[in-house]
Amino acid sequence: MRWRLSFKTSLGGKFLLSYLLIVLVGVATLLAVTFALAPTLFQAQLAPILQRHPGALTTAEASQHILGSFLGTLLSALAVAAIAATVTSLAISLFVARRITGPLQQMTRVSERISAGHYAERIEVAPVHRADELGQLASSINALAVVLEETERRRLEVIGDVAHELRTPIATLQGYLEGLLDGVIEPTPQTWAMLHTEAGRLRRLVDDLQELSRAEARQITLSAQPVAPQRLVQSALEPLEGQFAEKGLELQIHAPENLPPVVADPARAVQILTNLLVNALRYTPAPGRVEVVASREEDMVAFRVTDTGVGLTPEQLAHIFERFYRVDKSRSRAFGGSGIGLTIARSLAQAMGGEIRVVSAGLGQGSSFTLTLPRAHE
Ligand code: ADP
């Protein structure tokens, strides 16, 4: 939206008018006070002179005449002074107005560009304005532009990522369906099972995406309550113990009963631990070992899931919590992994006042994920 400013509504016009008003009021006051006091003061000055020179002014008329010409001179001098003051103040008002309206016009221009979607636009803050209110305003508009630019970048990135993630299962489904239509693929129970698996994968991906958007927008309602760490570990482990045994992985659990309770939403805390355990199960080849340890850590309780699996490089560690990040895409996809699990887990942990950390000595050296949750205060 472009604002059309008239002389009366523009800041420069207002400055000019206000300066003129100040000069007018000043001159009027000066004249009123001068002409109210000048005759009396002049008479008082004249009296001692007349006493010293008794014959100097013989008539009242002469005395009036002198007073009149004094006031006339005074008025002429004041008129010239008033004109000089008006011109000077107009020049000053123009100078001040330019220095204020210039940056304001620039800010308006840039804000309009930003609202039109040009998020890379920034206001150049002149050194002279850096510390004043105009500088502060320019800095906060620039900060707003940075946030908008980042949000837009992330929005586009998410759309791209989601499209990319959906393309593979949809292409697989389409391939099977075309094969069936052309009679190249036999409609055997295995084919239907394959189609069913792909559809399930798509469904899980969409569910994960919805969960991720809710977790990142902090829209998941958490019912935080004191809960025993041991209970959380047990609830997460119980449904998975069979799979660990089946894969030939040794499970070691250390969750002492005397640990202080944590404040957490039990279902969500179990969801995070399950995610860490499922990952340990996926990424640890047999024979291997997975260790689950709960311990006290200052004001928190730490749940550490350590495996002897494939491990992670420092580069991989830096990206592991990013959405859709998978070290080995095809391998992870074969497990049904979408690379969103850890992103959701970290969002949930943070929403409960906790955190998730990861360390690994490198490829083939196993990895260790730690979930921390705040300890309940007695
Ligand atoms: P996914 O569903 O693909 O497993 P996650 O967000 O849970 O998604 O994990 C992201 C990626 O982090 C995985 O694809 C895998 O490459 C890596 N990862 C997660 N846990 C482990 C682990 N315990 N050991 C090695 N790599 C892991």
CATH number, domain of 333, equals: 3.30.565.10
Backbone angles phi, psi at 151, to 5 degrees: -60, -45
Banded model confidence at residue 370, pLDDT cuts 50, 70, 90: very high
CA of 133 from ligand 1 middle (Å) equals 49
Question: Quick one: which H or E segment has residue 141?
Answer: helix 133-182
Residue 58 has pLDDT above 70, yes or no: no
Cross-strand partners of 289: 250
User: Does residue 146 form part of some domain?
Assistant: no
Please name which of 163, 197, 195, 170 lies closest in space to residue 334, comparing C-alpha atoms: 197
What pLDDT, on the 0 to 100 scale, is given for residue 102? Answer: 85
Q: Which residues contact 276 (CB under 8 A, 6 or more apart)?
A: 303, 305, 345, 356, 369, 371
Amino acid letter, residue 88: T
The rounded distance, in Å, linking the Cα atoms of 59 and 238 is 125
Q: What average pLDDT does this structure show over 52-60?
A: 70
Residues whose CB falls within 8 Å of the CB of residue 96, separated by 6 or more in sequence, listed in order: 15
Binding site membership of 268 for ligand 1 (Cβ less than 6 Å): no
Q: Is residue 131 part of a domain?
A: no
Closest CA to 295 of 306, 286, 284, 308: 306
Is a pLDDT exceeding 60 seen at residue 355? Answer: yes
300 and 359 fall within a common domain: yes
Task: Kindly state whether residues 260 and 338 are assigned to the same domain.
Answer: yes
Same domain for 235 and 187: no
User: What would the pLDDT profile of 130-150 be if each residue is shown by its tens digit?
Assistant: 778 888 899 999 999 999 998
pLDDT of residue 8: 65
Measured in Å, residue 48 CA sits from the centre of ligand 1 at: 107
244 three-state secondary structure: helix
Same domain, 59 and 28: yes
Q: What is the pLDDT of residues 259-298, one digit of tens each?
A: 999 999 999 999 999 999 999 999 999 999 999 999 999 8
| Count of alpha carbons within 13 angstroms of residue 282, beta-carbon side | 18
pLDDT of amino acid 320: 94
Is residue 303 within 8 Å of residue 232, measured between CB atoms? yes
Question: Does residue 322 sit in the same domain as residue 352?
Answer: yes
Q: Residue 197 is encoded by which pair of tokens?
A: 């698996």
The mean per-residue pLDDT over the stretch 73-77 comes to: 88
Rounded Cα distance, 106 and 355, in Å: 43
Protein residue with its CA nearest to atom 4 in ligand 1: 337
Residue 129 located in a structural domain:
no
Tell me how crowded residue 63 is: count the other CB atoms within 10 A of its CB: 15
Q: How far is the CA of 361 from the centre of ligand 1 (A)?
A: 16
Confidence at residue 192, expressed as pLDDT on a 0 to 100 scale: 92
Q: How far apart, in whole angstroms, are the C-alpha atoms of residue 368 and residue 364?
A: 13
The pLDDT of residue 358 is above 90: yes
pLDDT of 127: 66
Predicted local distance difference test score (pLDDT) of residue 82: 87
For residues 204, 209, 215, 217, the Cα torsion angle rounded to the nearest 10 degrees is -160
Residue 332 lies in a domain: yes
- 243 within some domain: yes
Neighbouring CB atoms inside 10 A of 316's CB total 19
CA angle 292, 295, 296 (to 5 degrees): 160
Per-residue pLDDT of 189-225, as tens digits, reads: 999 998 998 898 889 889 988 988 888 888 888 999 9
End-to-end CA distance of the chain: 58
Specify whether 258 is located in the same domain as 367: yes
208 with 236, same domain? no
- At residue 331, the pLDDT reads 60
d(CA 272, ligand 1 centre) in Å: 13
> Domain check: are 249 and 312 in the same one?
yes
CB 280 less than 6 A from any atom of ligand 1? yes
Residues 265 and 332 in one domain: yes
Q: Is the pLDDT of residue 329 over 70?
A: no
Q: What is the structure's pLDDT at 336?
A: 60
49 and 138 in contact (C-beta within 8 Å)? no
Per-residue pLDDT band for 3 (boundaries 50, 70, 90) equals low
User: What are the φ/ψ torsions at residue 355 (nearest 5 degrees)?
Assistant: -155, 165
| Number of C-beta neighbours around residue 182 at 10 A | 8
Q: Is residue 137 part of a domain?
A: no
Q: Give the model's pLDDT for residue 282.
A: 93
> What is the pLDDT, as a whole number, of residue 133?
86
pLDDT category, 12, cuts 50, 70, 90?
confident
Residue 338 beta carbon below 6 angstroms from any ligand 1 atom: yes
Q: What are the distances in angstroms from CA 263 to CA 219, 342, 376?
A: 19, 21, 5
pLDDT tens per residue across span 14-33? 878 888 888 889 888 988 99
pLDDT of residue 128: 63
Ligand 1, pocket-test mutation among 308, 313, 326, most atoms within 8 A of CB: 326
Question: In this model, does residue 78 exceed pLDDT 60?
Answer: yes
Task: Name the percent of the chain lying above pLDDT 70.
Answer: 93
Q: 316: Cβ below 6 Å to ligand 1? A: no
Enumerate the β-bridge partners of residue 302. Answer: 295, 372
In a domain? residue 139: no
What is the pLDDT confidence band of residue 93, given thresholds at 50, 70 and 90?
A: confident
Domain boundary among 94, 118, 142: 118
What lies within 8 Å, CB to CB, of 309 at 6+ separation is 280, 283, 284, 285, 288, 366, 367
281 lines ligand 1 (CB under 6 A): no
Residues 204 and 233 in one domain: no
Q: Is the pLDDT of residue 244 over 60?
A: yes
What atom of ligand 1 comes closest to residue 340's alpha carbon?
A: 6
- pLDDT for residue 378 is more than 70: no
Do the Cβ atoms of 358 and 369 come closer than 8 Å?
Answer: yes
- Are 90 and 163 found together in one domain? no
Residue bearing the bigger pLDDT, 332 or 306: 306
What are 150-186's pLDDT values in tens digits? 889 888 888 888 888 888 889 989 999 999 999 999 9
Quote the number of domains for the chain: 3
Give the C-alpha separation, 271 to 341, whole Å. 10
pLDDT of residue 201: 85
Whether residue 249 is found in the same domain as residue 349: yes
| H helix intervals, 183-296 | 189-216, 229-237, 241-247, 266-282
- CA-CA-CA-CA torsion sign (113, 114, 118, 120): positive
Q: Which residues contact 346 (CB under 8 A, 6 or more apart)?
A: 321, 355, 356
Radius of gyration, alpha carbons of the chain: 41
Mean pLDDT of the chain: 88
**Dihedral sign of CA atoms 203, 207, 212, 214 in order:** positive
**Per-residue pLDDT at 112 exceeds 60:** yes
pTM of the model: 0.66
Q: What is the pLDDT of residues 296-313, one digit of tens each?
A: 998 999 999 999 999 999
pLDDT(1) > 60: no
Q: How far apart, in whole angstroms, are the C-alpha atoms of residue 279 and residue 249?
A: 13
The residue range of the domain holding 256 is 225-374
Examine residue 306 and state whether it is found in any structural domain, yes or no: yes
